[in-house]
Amino acid sequence: MQRVAATTLRAATTLEAATTLRAATTLRAATTLRAATTLRTSRRGQSSTAAAPLRYFSAWFCPFAHRATLALEHHRQAVPYEWEESLGWEQRAPTGDEDFEATERSDWWYHWKSPALLAANPKGMVPTLLDPATNRAVTESIVCIQFIDELAAANGSTAPPLLPTDPFERAAARVAAEQVNKSVTSGYYQALVRTDAAERADGFAKVLDGLRAFTRESRGHFWGGDSLGLVDCVLLPYAYRLYALEHYRGFAVPASGEGGVWERYQAWLSRATSLPYVAPTLPERERYLRHVAKYAEGKARSKVGNAVRRGAAAHDYDDTLDDDAAHAQGVK
């Protein structure tokens, strides 16, 4: 909690970052998670094998980080962590050194980043997990899920593993997770960020294709069987946020049809979001809509927002193409 308070003070010079972080202290999910972490930490403190909690650099709104949160909460008995709210929105005053019209960016929003996040991961991206004992960091949401699962197994977690034990099934789960990332995640940002109506519709078609494939491959209540697993953790943060596409673009996931595939998908979504350890992690709808409006209105200068405006997929961000200098050369 002390870290969050200090972070809030440092961010107070930027309107949106300060608002976000102040609000985060009352955020249902963040409060629940921090409180739960304290409890788990003190419980683990009684054990001879107790490790220092992981520092978890996250952001309440971030669907990529949400993937790691789901894995951490799934293994909450075995992997203690401390949530550190690390990103917010800020506007940047012109420096006078720009080689383009600084007024162009009067309505652009950049990610403010906590210094602790930048120290742990110079790319300044969440999720980032840091072991305070060795100062080693783990990044990339899908890798974070697998890392948390491995750590949980080493710590004797009693929760079902997120990845199957059979090597062939593990490989299949990894492939499916990557497919969800390429279809649903990229399609989500394409539908939200691109300005051309046909490109937006194509983005949503990718989302639906990804949801269909996920649902048809599912082998039980969840993708791999009867408990939440890697592929569910990769999809769920986006599946839950698809109301943003309906709100800003009028694209809705069908409730029924196609031989029952949409009924099965909706049942999975409802089942997964109702899990007692998942429900408190879901961001509040109106608050998330306000956050993501910056993407819908073309104002978000984040790595993902920049890549998608350039016409690349969300996972193909590249600072050398997307920074302000590139924008000055006409990349919009």
Interface residue list for ligand GSH (CB under 6 A): 59, 62, 64, 87, 111, 124-127, 140-141, 302-304, 315
Nearer to ligand GSH, 142 or 272 (CB): 142
> Which positions ≥6 away from 183 have C-beta within 8 Å?
206, 207, 209, 210, 213
Residue 15 C-beta: closest distance to ligand GSH, Å:
18
Residue 313 C-beta: closest distance to ligand GSH, Å:
11
Nearer to ligand GSH, 107 or 319 (CB): 319
Residue 88 C-beta: closest distance to ligand GSH, Å:
11
Nearer to ligand GSH, 37 or 139 (CB): 139
**For residues 109 and 198, what is the distance between their CA atoms, to the nearest angstrom?**
26
Check: CB of residue 105 under 8 Å from CB of residue 32: no
Residue 57 C-beta: closest distance to ligand GSH, Å:
9
Residue 206 C-beta: closest distance to ligand GSH, Å:
17
The first and second tokens of residue 1, run together, are 């909690």
Nearer to ligand GSH, 174 or 221 (CB): 174
Nearer to ligand GSH, 125 or 176 (CB): 125
Nearer to ligand GSH, 8 or 302 (CB): 302
- DSSP assignment letter at 160: P
* Residue 318: HSE in the Cβ half-sphere, 13 Å Cα cutoff: 9
The first and second tokens of residue 42, run together, are 């003190």
Nearer to ligand GSH, 173 or 261 (CB): 173
Residue 20 C-beta: closest distance to ligand GSH, Å:
12
Q: 130 vs 52, 138, 191, 222, 265, CA distance in Å?
A: 10, 6, 33, 29, 35
> Which positions ≥6 away from 249 have C-beta within 8 Å?
191, 192, 200, 204, 296
Nearer to ligand GSH, 65 or 272 (CB): 65
For the chain, the C-alpha Rg in angstroms (whole number) is 20
Residue 192 C-beta: closest distance to ligand GSH, Å:
13
| Strand, coil or helix: 55 | strand
Count the Cβ atoms, other than its own, within 10 Å of residue 244: 23
Q: 146 vs 58, 67, 77, 215, 277, CA distance in Å?
A: 17, 11, 17, 22, 18
Residue 221 C-beta: closest distance to ligand GSH, Å:
25
